Amino acid sequence: MTSPAPGGFVPAVFDRAQLVAELAPSIAALEGAMAFGREIGPRIDRVIFLACGSPNRAMRGLQYWIEHFSPTLEVRRHFPAEFLAQDPPRLDSRTLVILGSKSGTTPETVAAAEFLRGRDCVTVGITQSATTPLAAAVQHRFLIGETPESFLGMAMIAQALVGGLLAGRDGWPHAGALLASLRALPEAVADAAATADRRGIDAALALRDDRHIYLLASGPCFTNAYVFGVCILMEMLWLHAYPVDAAEFFHGPFEIVERGTPLILILGEDPSRPLMERALRFCTRQSDRVFVYDSKDLAMPGIAPEIRPLLAPYALQAALKRISANLSILHGKPLGERRYMWKGGY
């Protein structure tokens, strides 16, 4: 770990306009993604999600909603390397495989797409450019453009595709509300980040000396615990972060909680919320360092009430990122710096 920032601490500046602008290509792709989902829905019996890192965990949330809403669709999710090693036999013309990679060059994801070229299934890639190896290897592609907001951009497009799929196959009635809400999401996410800006500064100052941080969430919001914990705190800040699912919390992990234990609790508005409310009651009794991020505290303007549970994780992620932006300054550790990733063979 590099040395903390010397002298006076100058908090990170949040640029609302830039965040919204970065998502314009994803907004432009939403209608096509939903239309594709509607069209292919009646011809699909199973969905397989393939991605590494944060796209994989965004897909976990989409898997949750397919399992919740669809009485007919089978859904699976794999890391591409695991998928290739397993070589699952259930790939046919009624299988839709959705692959995601920001760069479009992630070796395992590209290898999975190449592996699927000769298989009798439908493949879709979500990536930044039509010139990437992933885009070239799939049958259909949706593009987010070259943007630092890749997690949100890819998730928005995939959410639109899945909404169309549910509508086209099962008559899900909220596809229109979802599309309108996704179009409003960049502003809603920017609003969440702005609302949480002061909290992010305070939380970063409170956590600046911690090297071990626990994150607790449930259902689709476990995406937040994983992405913020693994893809930001571990990968970008080199901290020890431990994402824990609330459904598993009382079967072992809760034994580490005591006074002084730093816990970030993330609550959404989906059916798993009671699991987190139980965990919240326990954690606030046992620890004096509980940081609660609850989507019910976020206005999320423009998001339809029936769609809030689906999109809450994205607003929560924007709020959580205000912590890491300030921890980066406090630790003197740029978020873009890596020790091992993209450097030589590993």
Residue 319's closest CA among 260, 232, 236?
A: 232
In a domain, 165, yes or no: yes
Asked whether residue 216 falls in the same domain as residue 298, the answer is yes
Identify the pLDDT of residue 5.
54
Asked whether residue 127 falls in the same domain as residue 208, the answer is no
d(CA 162, CA 143): 16
Phi/psi of residue 190, nearest 5 degrees? -60, -40
Kindly indicate the confidence band of residue 1, based on its pLDDT and cuts at 50, 70 and 90: very low
Widest distance between CA atoms in the chain: 62
b/e 36-49 (16+ beta carbons within 10 angstroms → b) = bbbebbeebebbbb
Per-residue model confidence as pLDDT tens digits over 114-173:
999 989 999 999 999 999 999 999 999 999 999 999 999 999 999 999 999 999 999 999
DSSP letters for 27-86: HHHHHHHHHHHHHHGGG-SEEEEEESHHHHHHHHHHHHHHHHH-SS-EEEEE-HHHHHHH
Strand order in the sheet with 290-294: 240-245, 212-217, 263-267, 290-294
Domain-ending residue, one of 173, 207, 228: 173
CATH code, 211: 3.40.50.10490
Residue 159 near residue 26 (C-beta atoms within 8 A): no
Q: Kindly compute the dihedral angle of the four CA atoms of residues 146, 150, 153, 157, in this order, to the nearest 10 degrees.
A: 100
d(CA 61, CA 66): 9
Q: Is the pLDDT of residue 4 over 60?
A: no
Domain-ending residue, one of 104, 139, 173: 173
Per-residue model confidence as pLDDT tens digits over 258-267:
999 999 999 9
End-to-end CA distance of the chain: 21
What's the number of domains the chain is made of?
2
Residues forming a β-bridge with 264 = 215, 291
Identify the pLDDT of residue 322.
98
Asked whether residue 310 falls in the same domain as residue 273, the answer is yes
Q: Which two tokens mark 58?
A: 């965004």
Asked whether residue 195 falls in the same domain as residue 167, the answer is no
In a domain, 298, yes or no: yes
CB atoms within 10 A of CB 171: 9
Domain that holds residue 230: 190-331
Residue 94's closest CA among 42, 168, 135?
A: 42
Identify the pLDDT of residue 7.
60
In a domain, 4, yes or no: no
Identify the pLDDT of residue 345.
78
- pTM: predicted TM-score of the whole model, two decimal places: 0.95
Residue tagged 């615990």 (tokens): 225
Per-residue model confidence as pLDDT tens digits over 227-269:
999 999 999 999 999 999 999 999 999 999 999 999 999 999 9
CA dihedral sign, ordered 6, 12, 13, 17: positive
Element (H, E) at 235: none
3-state secondary structure of 142: strand
- Cα angle for residues 294, 299, 304 (degrees, 5° grid): 105
d(CA 206, CA 140): 46
Asked whether residue 155 falls in the same domain as residue 28, the answer is yes
Asked whether residue 82 falls in the same domain as residue 125, the answer is yes
